[in-house]
Chain A
Amino acid sequence: MAASPAPLGGHPRVQRPHLSKMERMVVTMQDPDQGVRMRSQRLLVTVIPHAVNGSDIVEWLMQKYSIAEDEALHLGSLLVQHGYLYPLRDPRRLELRPDETPYRFQTPYFWTSTLWPAAELDYAIYLAKKNIRKQGTLVDHEKEHYHQLHRKINHAWDLVMMQAREQLRAAKQRRKGDRLVIACQEQTYWLVNRPPPGAPSVLEQGPGRGPCTAGRVPMTKTLDFYRREVECLRRALGRARVKSSTCLEAYLKFSSQHGPHDPIMSGCLPSNPWVTDDDAYWAMNAPSVAMPTRLRVEQWAFSFRELLEDPVGRAHFMDFLGQEFSAENLSFWEACEELRHGGQAQVPALVDAVYQQFLAPGAARWVNIDSRTMEQTLAGLTQPHRHVLDDAQRHIYLLMKKDSYPRFLKSDLYRDLRAEAVVPWRPSDGEPGCARGSGRGRAAARPFSPAGCSCSWKPCTPAPALLSFRLGLWGARGWRW
């Protein structure tokens, strides 16, 4: 591949790391002891050595990487599509058949990493050879390419024809077996590099990345770059870190807490809309629904952030704060959010409005911030910008989180919300509507509403006959998991 200027950091970019991995894989497959079983393949009247069966390839991959058959077949197909393996019969189709079809490993000369990009001259020679050998063997798209190249490199056409004839003559002097193999190898190489229309090109990349692309100007100001890096590293060194065990325990807690709320893990009631084509689940969990579900109300207890993120939760919290005469805290926080995420043009007016309503001495909804933060905020207000209220906002947020939020969770208001919350019912007909976890996940689905719930969907206590029928249903029909 063409040399390229090294990017900042000094390490050359490895393009397409998957190719080198495929090559290592293919080399392992050819190991005489550990590799795929090789055999000689009879083809027409010749015997080709070192051929492998499609089924042997799949089996070897299954065993080596401990994967299932479908994955092994897919992986093997990719190897063939990238030209690392070629079929001996019918080399036009680069696909892996898991049967007795014989394949051979491509010679490293034709590997993509060795000989890429494919040269137009070489392609012209290849097509010319094909044309000379047997008139009319060129497929449509090849004919088109041939004519295009004839026009494009007309000046070198004599060279092309001469090379083609020479190569054909040299090939005639080889044994039939070798000739066949070389022809297959070459054909595979060109199938990969010049795929027929309709076939995906495995070598296609997205738009060029990184400084290796021709014509790109590499990062200038390298001095600034290193200065910034050194500053960032110094700051990072001074960072307070938490022990791994604490952090990792937090994941376990988070996953187990949120598991029942994860539709893909635990299913959702009444059913997953994508599976049953019934969007009742979305209707029940609309952003501003009058009666939230039990799961949703429970989620407000997980963290303050999750309470505020839910519009219904936030509204109830506002009511609660109203009862405690501290609703201005939440209103102030909301106003600060609007400032931070709003348009630049609105900043001065918004800051002024916030000041008049919440911060001015004697304001109608004065918020109680500690004096130092208040001083700093008021001083900053002379030059309003998006982040001028950040400190005050954080102070009020922490106040609500440490003080009002725990009280909310213990309050009658919240308790009543939980008791009145809707628990959806699974429809009795049709297959279970969602993916499920291991057996224990069933409990989370709660198909039966507990007594005393004012569920508006179906009767809370099902008739006994129905109950036993449904129990039978769970047992008899295996879960989709």
Chain B
Amino acid sequence: MDQTFLVNVFGSCDRCFKQRALRPVFKKSEQLNYCSLCVEIMAADGLHENETLASLKSEAESLKGKLEEERAKLHDVELHQVAERVEALGQFVMKTRRTLKGHGNKVLCMDWCKDKRRLVSSSQDGKVIVWDSFTTNKEHAVTMPCTWVMACAYAPSGCAIACGGLDNKCSVYPLTFDKNENMAAKKKSVAMHTNYLSACSFTNSDMQILTASGDGTCALWDVESGQLLQSFHGHGADVLCLDLAPSETGNTFVSGGCDKKAMVWDMRSGQCVQAFETHESDINSVRYYPSGDAFASGSDDATCRLYDLRADREVAIYSKESIIFGASSVDFSLSGRLLFAGYNDYTINVWDVLKGSRVSILFGHENRVSTLRVSPDGTAFCSGSWDHTLRVWA
């Protein structure tokens, strides 16, 4: 008796890459293997996936080309030309004024408190420490249940901190001065991502947190309930950094990722408002210019760049042939004249934002500088490094 056998081939589906039973699909004499779930999804889309994907790709490319043309039309002068009238800065002396020792492993992230002297820092071994950096005393310490705590933030009220990393979550810890109370007991899990948390920041209040993750998305969360208020999709790879805009309407933020793109988002609609793709490697850090009209980015391609939001283009590149290691974090001085950038070659370079020249190089750390923030009143800046220490410079 004849019997028909259906051979089940198991393998990796060409669409979702999961290990499933595969069905062969022939497109233009090329065989692709999809799992049954993907076949149904594609049928529901009503499209032949390959064809639309190719046409969308080419459409995106041609639109990018047009956008570059449009941007170039209004570009009538370079920043260093305009800055010729500005006085050059004199010799610069900044020294380490405080060294915070206490982390047992690489310091990955730090954030200042609004009181201009406290700060929170997180490290690879899971420890998150709140310091009064003026006295170098440790005020609070909590150990996270995961390693590589890559993001931490201080709440605007000064009453809580947020942190997260390889646990894919962002947790908020209220700060209590009761010595008997265990900080970890009151921990609140706010954000849930499907990959590591790379950056987090409170918005104007303690009630909302903005997060960026290795899963390629950013998200806005309500702290009290843990509810997702808005998610931001558009990066093609891990998102590594974000910064909230100091604008008048206060509704945008910028993010940078491994896809070399810096994207500006509207927090209300979740849509990408502007995108810039001129870096040659991962963007490790983004920071707004104090006026909110521009932002700077630091990247693994050893350059920092300034992007103007009104002109909608890159307006300056801060690079030097002798600087070959990536910039891990950047921040502006209060007037926006100086850009401080921490690099993976253990140094901090200070750039004249207007003239584009390097004003000074600061040595001191013994391993890569992973995080750098100027204090809220601009009197100093703090750098954290893989050498287990934080330094306050002024």
Contacts and interface: CB of A to CB of B under 8 A. Distances in A.
Contacts of A480: 93
B205 A342 contact: yes
B207 A237 contact: no
A7 B367 contact: no
Contact of B60 (A217, A233, A248, A254): A233
B335 A255 contact: yes
A25 B333 CA distance: 32
A246 B309 CA distance: 12
B311 to A, nearest CB: 4
Contact of B335 (A21, A265, A285, A345): A265
B77 interface: yes
B67 to A, nearest CB: 6
B237 A210 contact: yes
A222 B273 CA distance: 20
A233 B67 contact: yes
A8 B238 contact: no
B28 interface: no
A246 B75 CA distance: 10
Q: Which of A224, A274, A480 has the most CB of B within 10 A?
A: A274
Interface string A387-407: 100100010010001000000
Q: Which size class do B's interface residues fall under?
A: 35 or more
Contacts of A226: 53, 56-57, 60
B319 to A, nearest CB: 11
Contacts of A281: 379
B333 A386 contact: no
Interface in B322-343: 322, 324-326, 333-338
A258 B56 contact: no
Contacts of A394: 249
B248 A397 contact: yes
Contacts of B148: 206-207
Contacts of B174: none
Q: Which of A61, A72, A480 has the most CB of B within 10 A?
A: A480
B185 interface: no
A435 interface: yes
A437 B312 CA distance: 32
A222 B353 CA distance: 38
Q: Which size class do A's interface residues fall under?
A: 35 or more
A78 B345 contact: yes
B248 A304 contact: yes
B334 A75 contact: no
A397 B248 CA distance: 9
Contacts of B207: 341-343
A251 B322 contact: no
B93 to A, nearest CB: 5
B3 interface: no
Given A18-B344, A236-B274, A244 B337 contact: no
A75 B394 contact: no
A437 B333 CA distance: 13
Interface string A419-444: 00000000000000011111110000
A174 interface: no
B60 A262 contact: no
A234 B353 CA distance: 31
B236 A219 contact: yes
A452 interface: no
A268 to B, nearest CB: 6
B215 to A, nearest CB: 9
A14 B77 CA distance: 33
B40 to A, nearest CB: 15
Contact of A209 (B47, B258, B273, B381): B258
Contact of A244 (B75, B88, B236, B258): B75
B116 A234 contact: no
Contacts of B249: 394, 397
Q: Which of B90, B204, B335 has the most CB of A within 10 A?
A: B335
Contacts of B387: 200
Contacts of B27: none
A220 interface: yes
Interface string B48-88: 01001100110110011011001100111111001101111
A264 B258 contact: no
B321 A230 contact: no
A274 B204 contact: no
Given A210-B258, A273-B379, A21 B302 contact: yes
Contacts of B179: none
Nearest to B272: A232
A9 B324 contact: no
Contacts of B160: none
A258 B335 contact: yes
A154 to B, nearest CB: 31
Contacts of A341: 203-205, 207-208
A17 interface: yes
Contact of B321 (A65, A247, A264, A440): A65
Nearest to B69: A237
Interface in B206-239: 207-208, 214, 216, 222-225, 227, 229, 233-234, 236-238
Contacts of B380: 264, 272, 274
Given A231-B271, A243-B76, A274-B392, 17 more contacts: A18-B300, A65-B322, A232-B234, A233-B67, A237-B63, A237-B67, A248-B311, A254-B289, A261-B334, A263-B377, A265-B334, A272-B379, A304-B248, A343-B225, A345-B224, A386-B229, A438-B88
8 contacts: A217-B18, A236-B312, A247-B294, A247-B308, A251-B336, A254-B290, A279-B117, A437-B90
Top 6 closest pairs, chain A to chain B, by CB:
A262-B335, A274-B394, A438-B90, A65-B322, A258-B335, A8-B236
Interface of B: 15-18, 45, 47, 49, 52-53, 56-57, 59-60, 63-64, 66-67, 70-71, 74-79, 82-83, 85-94, 97-98, 108, 116-117, 134, 148, 150, 166, 196, 203-205, 207-208, 214, 216, 222-225, 227, 229, 233-234, 236-238, 240, 246-250, 258-259, 268, 271-275, 280-282, 289-291, 293-294, 300-302, 308, 310-313, 315, 320-322, 324-326, 333-338, 344-347, 353-354, 361, 363, 366-367, 374, 377-381, 386-387, 392, 394
